[in-house]
Structure 1
Amino acid sequence: MAQAETGQGDAGRRDGGAGTWRSGIRRAIRVGSRLGPWKRGLVLAALALLLGLLMLWHAQIPNQILNLGSLVETFLPWFGLFIPVSLIGALWRRSASAVVALLLPVTVWLHLFGGLLGDKSHADHELRVASHNVGADNPDPVGTARDLAAYGADVLALQELTEQTRGTYERELAKAYPYHTVRGTVGVWSKLPLSDTQPIDIQMDYGPLAETIPVDVKTGYTRALRTTVATDHGPLAVYVAHLGSVRVNPRAGFWTDSRDRGAQALGEAVAAEQNERVVLLGDLNGSMDDRAFAGLTSQLRSVQVVAGDGFGFSWPAGFPVVRIDQILVRGVEPEGSWVLPATSSDHLPVAAGISW
């Protein structure tokens, strides 16, 4: 009999504890609903301010820790997606403080990227250039070459050519482009005469695979060149480059050593260029917001920023999230910048119209 009474007592205490817990929750909800609009959603307000400061001071994020600075800058435009999410949360909480705090990230994002939202291209241009990483594993190089030829650029730069596909591109592009030059895995096809072609050493770093790659392969694996295009307005220096790939892994973080070394070498080559008119085309494996490209962006202008329509994302082709295929210029005027329809490559082709 005593045991039964004890069991009933335990059950009563459990029911009482659950009731106290539910009562506390209801009390907290009532207290929260009585808070004024400026006191509700303070956590959301703090997160909105942090988002704005992150975008505003992205250049201050150190790269010493897993290369986080470059990683943030690569995907910097996408941080704007947190703004509508935060706004929905602020409206749901009816928080005036959170709504006002969102003014900071909105202002910063518009300052950084608002200029890319409109179409700044012009119909008139004197020379059209295009660039495409055709992909070493491209299942249809013939179709890719024909698509590029149909576009009709005056100067076409290709990256990631292989020994097996080089002949295909040379054959399929021969009718549209009487002049071409190839060095290693990069090449230029042109309707105008070419001269003075030279390879550019972009100091490739093969990382953990370095010891397994023969020396003759390393030295013959050219991924950048410089050539001169003879135009009606005089010589135009054209650089084509395919910088090293980047990797993301838990131990190294955002690994960009090879790419960064190549960007520095390419910047030094452009700085030494005697011709005042320069066009750089290629797969640079990075966004121009990334500090690693400061040596290039301090000398050259991005056609996408000056004369583009939108962000011009080029990779991956199925769902582009970042523009890593670039066209940069000096001494000529960008008139338009476009992302071309997809080919069988994992990159989208990019093109630009320029004038003197």
Structure 2
Amino acid sequence: MAQADSTDRTADAGGTDTARGGRSGGFLGLRDWGRDARGSNTWRRGLVIAVLAVVTAVLLAFHAEVPNSVGNLGSLLETFLPWVGLAVPVLLVAALLRRSATALTALLLPVALWANLFGGQLTDKSGGKGDWTVVSHNVAAENTDVPGTIRGLVASGAQIVALEELAGGHLRAYETGLSDAYPYHAVEGTVGLWSKYPISGVSPVDLRMGWTRAFRAQVATPQGPVAVYVAHLPSVRLKAEGGFTVDQRDVSAQALGNAIQAERVSRVLLLGDLNGTMNDRSLAPVTSQMRSAQGAAGDGFGFSWPAAFPMARIDQIMSKGGLQPVDSRTLPRDGSDHLAVAATYRYGS
């Protein structure tokens, strides 16, 4: 009887076996957030998790301060910045398992910052009727289904189509396959423009690469002239010895930004694979003067690369000068390693 009474008193006093190092029942021990076997209460546990939550918040809030001087880490972080938010659910599970009120409180910081930065992209911002649709697609030199890509472009209903990475062996197929739907086209180097409207004033844009991967053209839309830039900026590489190598891309971005800034036609479109996202500071010569269709009228993040599991929006449609985006989306996957991106515009004042 004495043994039984002692056990009963222990159970009555704590409701659990915590006096002997045990935990209470319930999901993740939520019925007992008091002291653990070591005597730490819920506000003193999980300090490492709380610190990691604060680090996540700092990266979101001050990503622009991460230097590019070491392996271009700043640009690498900004390219995949939305994915930093994945740390939150991981840390949340850890905080619940640790039964830490401190960690849960700290997690409010990255949640609030991520919502402030990217919450708007989770809503559908499209609306209204547009005048015409444009498509940009890196069709890939190693495209495994060129006829399928051509069918998808025609089925998009776009009036203006820009293509990047046109390999010599595939160029004739695109010219032939798109000719019925798009009577006007221009090709410079490995980039091209197809249009239902007349094209004029075609001239290469020097990206400081030694060969042509960008040009400017004027398209005579029914609502008025639009200067259209088609560009494929140099690729970036992630190397163990050199980090995120973007030097050539950044030089080309500056050259493209200078060309757009000098444009005399008031309404300007930029279509292309910029090998960088709108968050990447290195694309500021371009992004600082243009508006992203995805950011203004998209539904979701609109990731375009890699096609098998899109993780970043490096294919861009941007505008300035009274062109109002009313819709932005990606097209179904085809034989390229990129998804085509599309946007519908209203010709504004």
Alignment TM-score > 0.5, same fold: yes
Q: Deviations over 1:28-54 (max 9, x none)?
A: x98655311111101111110111011
- Large movers: runs of 4+ above 4 Å: 29-33
In structure 2, runs of 5+ residues without a counterpart are: 1-19, 24-34
Query: Counterpart in 2 of 1:341?
Result: 332
Q: Deviations over 1:146-179 (max 9, x none)?
A: 2211212000000001221111100000000010
Query: Counterpart in 1 of 2:343?
Result: 352
Q: Deviations over 1:30-81 (max 9, x none)?
A: 8655311111101111110111011100000010011100000011000000
Which letter does structure 1 place at the counterpart of 2:324?
E
SS of equivalent to 1:329:
strand
Residues 49-88 of structure 1 mapped to structure 2, 5 A cutoff: 49-88=54-93
Residues 154-233 of structure 1 mapped to structure 2, 5 A cutoff: 154-204=159-209, 218=210, 221-233=211-223
What is the CA-CA distance between 1:231 and the residue it aligns to? 1.4
1:90 lines up with 2:101 in the alignment: no
Which letter does structure 2 place at the counterpart of 1:349?
A
What is the CA–CA distance in structure 1 between the aligned matches of 2:99 and 2:39, rounded to whole Å?
12
Q: What TM-score, normalized by structure 2, do the two folds share? A: 0.88
Query: Counterpart in 2 of 1:330?
Result: 320
Residues 269-280 of structure 1 mapped to structure 2, 5 A cutoff: 269-280=259-270
Question: Number of residue pairs matched?
Answer: 316
Report the structure, 1 or 2, having the larger helix content.
Answer: 1
What is the CA-CA distance between 1:258 and the residue it aligns to? 1.4
Aligned match of 1:120 in 121, 125, 148? 125
Residues 241-320 of structure 1 mapped to structure 2, 5 A cutoff: 241-320=231-310
Which letter does structure 2 place at the counterpart of 1:154?
Q
What is the CA-CA distance between 1:232 and the residue it aligns to? 2.0
Which letter does structure 1 place at the counterpart of 2:91?
S
SS of equivalent to 1:296:
helix
Which letter does structure 2 place at the counterpart of 1:258?
Q
- Do 1:32 and 1:40's aligned partners in 2 also have CA atoms closer than 8 Å? no
SS of equivalent to 2:44:
coil
Which letter does structure 1 place at the counterpart of 2:319?
V
| Root mean square deviation, CA, Å | 1.5
What is the CA-CA distance between 1:83 and the residue it aligns to? 0.3
Q: Deviations over 1:199-250 (max 9, x none)?
A: 001112xxxxxxxxxxxxx4xx310010001012211000000000000111
What is the CA-CA distance between 1:341 and the residue it aligns to? 0.4
SS of equivalent to 1:202:
coil
Which letter does structure 2 place at the counterpart of 1:161?
L
What is the CA–CA distance in structure 1 between the aligned matches of 2:144 and 2:311, rounded to whole Å?
23
- Do 1:116 and 1:311's aligned partners in 2 also have CA atoms closer than 8 Å? yes
What is the CA–CA distance in structure 1 between the aligned matches of 2:36 and 2:87, rounded to whole Å?
28
What is the CA-CA distance between 1:140 and the residue it aligns to? 2.0
SS of equivalent to 2:134:
strand
SS of equivalent to 1:139:
coil
SS of equivalent to 2:194:
strand
Q: Deviations over 1:175-198 (max 9, x none)?
A: 000100000100000000000000
Which letter does structure 1 place at the counterpart of 2:239?
N
SS of equivalent to 1:275:
coil
SS of equivalent to 2:82:
helix
SS of equivalent to 2:74:
helix
What is the CA-CA distance between 1:276 and the residue it aligns to? 1.3
Query: Counterpart in 2 of 1:138?
Result: 143
- Do 1:314 and 1:347's aligned partners in 2 also have CA atoms closer than 8 Å? yes
Query: Counterpart in 1 of 2:43?
Result: 38
What is the CA-CA distance between 1:139 and the residue it aligns to? 2.2
Query: Counterpart in 2 of 1:239?
Result: 229
Query: Counterpart in 1 of 2:10?
Result: none
SS of equivalent to 1:251:
coil
SS of equivalent to 2:250:
helix
What is the CA–CA distance in structure 2 between the aligned matches of 1:91 and 1:231, rounded to whole Å?
58
Q: What TM-score, normalized by structure 1, do the two folds share? A: 0.86
What is the CA–CA distance in structure 2 between the aligned matches of 1:230 and 1:307, rounded to whole Å?
24
What is the CA–CA distance in structure 2 between the aligned matches of 1:32 and 1:73, rounded to whole Å?
42
